[in-house]
Amino acid sequence: MEAQVAVKNQSKKNQKSIAVAVAPGDGIGPEIMDATLKILEAAGAKITTHNIQIGKEVYLSGELSGIDKAAWDTIRKTKLILKGPITTPQGSGYKSLNVTLRKSLGLFANVRPVKTYEPLRRSGAPKMDVVIIRENEEDLYAGIEHQQTQDVVQCLKLITRPGCEKIVRYAFEYARIHDRQRVTCMIKDNIMKLTDGLFHRVFKEIAQEYPDIQSDSQIIDIGSARLAARPDQYDVVVTSNLYGDIISDIVAEVAGSVGLAGSANVGRDIAMFEAIHGSAPDIAGSSIANPTGLLMGACMMLEHIGQFDVAGNIRQAWFKTIQAGIHTADIYDAVKSQRKVGTSEFADAVIENLDHQASQTTTTSERAKINIPFYNRPKAVKSLLGVDVFIDWQGSDADEIGDRLAKINGGSLKLKMITNRGVKVYPNGLDETYCTDHWRCRFGDMKIDDQGKKKYLDVNYDSVLTLLSAIDKAGFEVIKTENLYSFDGVRGFSLGQGE
């Protein structure tokens, strides 16, 4: 289905209308989408909408991804999506459509501006005007999970250099063109030295290219606590996928309501705009939902396509409505509010507050586009230094498995240590350490260097295969292996706790 949003403004006749794929979504989605499109139309947005159906109905028709080919085709043609919230049905097999869209379409940056608006600020709540820029494609959201033993399941956290470079550069470019003063990086690299360590290292490298913008880094635990308590001290925050997911909801809630914030999911060619909240099944169908989150997402979309004046007019009209005390139920306050309204009435009030004069003289303006250079992988010297062999063993005595593996004749690779859940238990473990059935056994070919330190020698993959065959013959069940590499002489694996 197609619909041309009417343009009231005669002077804009020659402006190109921009095609947008519109997915109303589930729950309150259709209600807030109707309200949003009504406002966009009244404000003179120059867009042509192409309706697509994604979400619950598509899931329940047997499409486990929640999206069919026709919707993919429309999205790839328009390269622009305005999306309502989606309900992911409970039960295994259904993949999150939001994650699928973000990752499949390369929407690497999730941008969530969150601001407090005076009439809505709860008494004592801090003021804020923060933008959370969250990496959107990798981290623990890769969705690679395995049960390896009876006791242990694993989720892979993947952080890549190209991914870090894209998101960090995007954050600095965003700060520059939006006149923001500071970018704060949030990581947990005191624990995850390789993954979060890479994110932090890339942040510090790229920050040097932006001397006009202040930069600092915080560990995510204290960073998110401070962000909740003193958000006025933050400007732009850049972080990885999971941390960003959590802190962006925290700031939205501290600002007043998750119903108020919009977000952009931006890629090189395609961008998707939405509210940050979900499908609110508890109020779906009762016409009381606040359309603001989606409306703010739509304003970000208009700015993305250069229709700044239309977006500005809508934002101003929305603010006037809020200031006049016309509030939906989620933000209604018996003291501050004047009138409690439903979704559609709220949209009508915003439309009444539009500056129709402004709409008639509007022109498309330009803001610098953010262009992220493609990643060039430099050549590195990669050396194989050993292997971590993960074994499912039902015993509980670390010395028993250690002594048996130490005796295995597996060529040049010798047992160096064993950890259980990352803690060294062999040799010289502590009796107090609890051991599961999941044993990580590290093998390498070691020599003592001039300073008396143990050093890994280069090995080849044949020696790994010889070792694995010997372990198998000794009656152990190998559940996975992880090769130990160095890159340009720098160790590419973490040490065991206590190693």
Ordered alpha helix ranges (H), 79-148: 97-104
- Three-state secondary-structure class, residue 401: helix
Cβ atoms of residues 93 and 64 within 8 Å:
yes
Window of 70-78, 156-164, 289-297, 370-378 that interacts with ligand NAD by CB under 6 A? 289-297
Tell me whether residue 121 or residue 356 sits nearer to ligand NAD (CB atom): 121
CB of 315 to ligand NAD, least distance (A): 17
Window of 83-91, 223-231, 420-428, 432-440 that interacts with ligand NAD by CB under 6 A? 83-91
Q: Interaction with ligand NAD in 407-436: which residues (CB under 6 A)?
A: none
Q: Which of 9, 36, 74, 87 binds ligand NAD (CB under 6 A)?
A: 87
Tell me whether residue 168 or residue 276 sits nearer to ligand NAD (CB atom): 276
CB of 50 to ligand NAD, least distance (A): 19
Instruction: Please give the Cα distance from 112 to 296 (Å, whole number).
Output: 10
Ordered alpha helix ranges (H), 188-240: 195-207, 220-229
Tell me whether residue 42 or residue 101 sits nearer to ligand NAD (CB atom): 101
Tell me whether residue 135 or residue 189 sits nearer to ligand NAD (CB atom): 135
Tell me whether residue 278 or residue 411 sits nearer to ligand NAD (CB atom): 278
Size of the site for ligand NAD (CB under 6 A): 21
CB of 75 to ligand NAD, least distance (A): 15
Instruction: Please give the Cα distance from 326 to 350 (Å, whole number).
Output: 9
Tell me whether residue 136 or residue 359 sits nearer to ligand NAD (CB atom): 136
Instruction: Please give the Cα distance from 310 to 298 (Å, whole number).
Output: 11
CB of 126 to ligand NAD, least distance (A): 21
Burial class (CB in 10 A: 0-12, 13-18, 19+), 75: buried
Question: Which residue number is nearest to ligand NAD in terms of Cβ?
Answer: 278
Report the alpha-carbon angle 355-356-357, nearest 5.
90
Under the criterion CB under 6 A, does residue 24 sit at the interface with ligand NAD? no
* Number of other CB atoms surrounding residue 218 within 10 Å: 18
Tell me whether residue 207 or residue 258 sits nearer to ligand NAD (CB atom): 258
CB of 260 to ligand NAD, least distance (A): 8
CB of 290 to ligand NAD, least distance (A): 4
Task: Say how many CA atoms lie within 13 Å of 378 toward its Cβ.
Answer: 5
Under the criterion CB under 6 A, does residue 218 sit at the interface with ligand NAD? no
Window of 11-19, 81-89, 393-401, 408-416 that interacts with ligand NAD by CB under 6 A? 81-89
Q: Which of 101, 140, 258, 266 binds ligand NAD (CB under 6 A)?
A: 258
Instruction: Please give the Cα distance from 209 to 203 (Å, whole number).
Output: 10
Q: Cα dihedral angle (299, 75, 138, 180), rounded to 10 degrees?
A: -20
Under the criterion CB under 6 A, does residue 289 sit at the interface with ligand NAD? yes
CA distances from 323 to 35, 178, 356 (A): 19, 25, 19
Question: Which pair of structure tokens corresponds to residue 292?
Answer: 């603001």
Ordered alpha helix ranges (H), 324-452: 343-352, 356-361, 398-406
Q: Interaction with ligand NAD in 90-109: which residues (CB under 6 A)?
A: 98
Cβ atoms of residues 238 and 199 within 8 Å:
no
Q: Which amino acid makes up residue 219?
A: I
Q: Which of 290, 321, 353, 420 binds ligand NAD (CB under 6 A)?
A: 290
- Measured in degrees and rounded to the nearest 5, phi and psi for residue 236 equal -115, 135
Instruction: Please give the Cα distance from 191 to 244 (Å, whole number).
Output: 18
Helices (H) and strands (E) in the chain, counts: 14, 23
Residues 266-285 vs ligand NAD: string with x where CB under 6 A? --------x--xxxxxxx--
Window of 11-19, 44-52, 86-94, 361-369 that interacts with ligand NAD by CB under 6 A? 86-94
Q: Which amino acid makes up residue 390?
A: F
Instruction: Please give the Cα distance from 499 to 495 (Å, whole number).
Output: 6
Q: Which of 113, 223, 262, 293 binds ligand NAD (CB under 6 A)?
A: 293
Q: Which of 85, 244, 402, 410 binds ligand NAD (CB under 6 A)?
A: 85
Question: Which pair of structure tokens corresponds to residue 176?
Answer: 């520059």
CB of 102 to ligand NAD, least distance (A): 10
Place of tokens 């992880």: 482
Q: Which residues bind ligand NAD (CB under 6 A)?
A: 28, 32, 85-88, 98, 258-259, 274, 277-283, 289-290, 293, 330
